[in-house]
Amino acid sequence: MDWFSVCILAEKYEVYVFAGSGGTIFKRLGVTSIPIPVPIDLVLFPNQTLPGKIVFGTWETFGSWLSQPCTVEMYLLVYSFSALDVRESDKGVGIYLPNTYSSSSAFTAMLHLKYLLVLATFALPYIPESLAAIGPVADLVISNQNVSPDGFTRGAVVAGGHTIGPLIVGKKGDNLRINLINRLNDNTMLQSTSIHWHGFFQKTTNWDDGVPFVNQCPIAKGDSFLYDFDVPDQAGTFWYHSHLSTQYCDGLRGPLVIYDPNDPHASLYDVDDESTVITLADWYHTKAKQIVFGTPDSTLINGLGRWSHGNATSELAVITVTQGKRYRMRLINTSCDPAFTFSIDNHTMTVIETDSVNNVPLEVDSLRIFVAQRYSFVLHANQAVGNYWIRANPNAGTMGFANGINSAILRYVGAEEAEPPVRNITNTNELNEANLVPLENPGAPGDPVVGGVDVAMHLDFAFTSAAQFTVNGVTFVSPTVPVLLQILSGAQTADSLLPTGSIITLPVNATVEISMTGGLLGLQHPIHLHGHTFNVVRAAGMTGYNFANPIRRDVVNAGSASDNVTIRFRTDNPGPWILHCHIDWHFNNGFAIVLAERTNEWNTTIDPTDAWDDLCPIYDSLSEADL
């Protein structure tokens, strides 16, 4: 017997350990039902093990229910280990581990080479359960749970049981079928819901974009709804979140990655998996229904953090790397409010993706990431084995890094399980958005002059004495009938869509230029357009325009009062698409408009399901207490 494998079933969340020889499995360790994933050594060996020692497990006869070894297709996770020796004894089967074995919270596996005593080692980083991947076809249960991601316990709205929902994955060309099951029952928070799949074009499936009263009615508690859409021409880093009021500030958000089998950047990195996804989030100890404009209590990185008045030993997220390897880190700002200045001590970052758009590699030592933005960067683990601070300093809430707030840990395999030493780090090469250049198809639509488009408009943002935001003098108030349904049902014409003053109708195949003045309330507002990526022909801080090779993205910082941030896109996607500030408190107070694109095509290109038709009657029948 020269190897054994650990297999975790995708559906039952049970651990099976198989022993075999020559490719034949003939014994199985008893089943352990546990939340996954957990450190494998804790599953196999309840007592702490030491390198070079014999450890024992109780084996039972292998049945006939499985005729082949574990495979990735059958299981969520498969780990194969080589052993120096495996011996039968009255205690069970002893597995003699090589001296390279390390018991730690990170998985350390001996690569199975099928030859006894021939060993190779590699690290499998600990993946938080919330980031264990599902998809592209999956159920997603939305429920209420008490959580304490920063040491403070409160009720929350969670996807898959966690304040950062499970990572959803697919590959370019996939059909995503996510069945959302609403089990919310806490009336101190919203009990209906909807999910926006941030960054997806949703061509011909505008009804799946997930914005209540624009693309759909909310999904009532006790109900379910299948989001079913294709991703034929998109790959990269995305995320999902509730788009109902400020519900995602109560926890309903998660990462989503579409992998490209032909990624043009593939030669730049060695590792790109669940362990390299990094989510940033703000966290509030007060429920969102009670907040008008909130101040975060803490920052969560991959769902963990500390708050300034809490326990300085609360668990922090750990990202594990192996010295010499190159990692594609996928960074997502899932917050409701703050932008973060992000860096990793002693390491540079080579940015290769901006909001699911490949860009020419650009090396920086820090970057500012606004709400809903995403970056992929390559991190080369080329430093001494040790622990290094990952820093995400917010522009709202408690700033700095005292006692480990706003922080996580980058840990090299072989380093002690300890927090890094306190260091004062000065970064000198922060990302400048204007320096980002798309890798493919550069160039903005229209003529290379200001206003050289079919439709040019300026958006004037303001704040009223009633604590409401306006766009061009109008506060967005959600209609009672979704904008999409208004046309599909024949209730309204394109010229009379509701809400009045907040709908801008755009013609077919037009080039559009939108400029905006930032700095409202002294803040920098992240502006997101659904259904598109756009060309940022004038970024914050620029005094001129770049029509030749501006970066394309779907969230842009509107900048300061001296800026005139300008974007361009083409109307190639029929449907109502909301444009809004992604600071959720601002959106909830009217900071939005809807671009009604190619309205004459909605009835012929957008065909919602019968289940979509049922959403509004079900929601409209709810009592106030059940909304």
- Nearest Cα neighbor of 405 from 298, 496, 485 is 298
Return the structure tokens found at 219. Answer: 């999904």
In angstroms, the Cα distances linking 583 to 57, 430, 588 are 52, 23, 9
Alpha-carbon Rg for the chain, nearest whole angstrom, is: 26
Taking the C-alpha atoms of residue 88 and residue 56, their distance in angstroms, rounded to an integer, is: 9
Coil/strand/helix, residue 599: helix
Any bridge partners for residue 242, and if so which? 195
Per the omega criterion (within 30 degrees of 0), is the bond before 499 cis?
yes
Q: Cβ distance 143 to 183 under 8 Å?
A: yes
Residues annotated as catalytic are 196, 198, 241, 243, 525, 528, 530, 580-583, 586, 591
- Nearest Cα neighbor of 511 from 439, 559, 549, 566 is 566
In angstroms, the Cα distances linking 588 to 53, 288, 583 are 60, 11, 9
Cα torsion 257, 258, 264, 270 to 10°: value is 50
Return the structure tokens found at 115. Answer: 């030859």
Taking the C-alpha atoms of residue 337 and residue 586, their distance in angstroms, rounded to an integer, is: 9
In angstroms, the Cα distances linking 189 to 183, 218, 253 are 13, 14, 15
The string over 179-199, giving b where at least 16 C-beta atoms fall within 10 Å of a residue's C-beta and e elsewhere, is ebebebebeebbbbbbbbbbb
Per the omega criterion (within 30 degrees of 0), is the bond before 69 cis?
no
Taking the C-alpha atoms of residue 499 and residue 590, their distance in angstroms, rounded to an integer, is: 12
Half-sphere exposure in the Cβ direction for 421 (13 Å, CA): 5
Taking the C-alpha atoms of residue 616 and residue 606, their distance in angstroms, rounded to an integer, is: 17
- In what side-by-side order are the strands of the sheet with 592-597? 503-506, 592-597, 575-581, 526-529, 555-557
Taking the C-alpha atoms of residue 563 and residue 443, their distance in angstroms, rounded to an integer, is: 22
Return the structure tokens found at 490. Answer: 């024949």
Count CB neighbours of 441 within 10 A: 8
Taking the C-alpha atoms of residue 52 and residue 98, their distance in angstroms, rounded to an integer, is: 5
Give the pairing type, strands 154-159 and 107-110.
unpaired
Give the pairing type, strands 298-301 and 195-198.
unpaired
- Nearest Cα neighbor of 435 from 545, 523, 550, 537 is 550
Taking the C-alpha atoms of residue 31 and residue 15, their distance in angstroms, rounded to an integer, is: 6
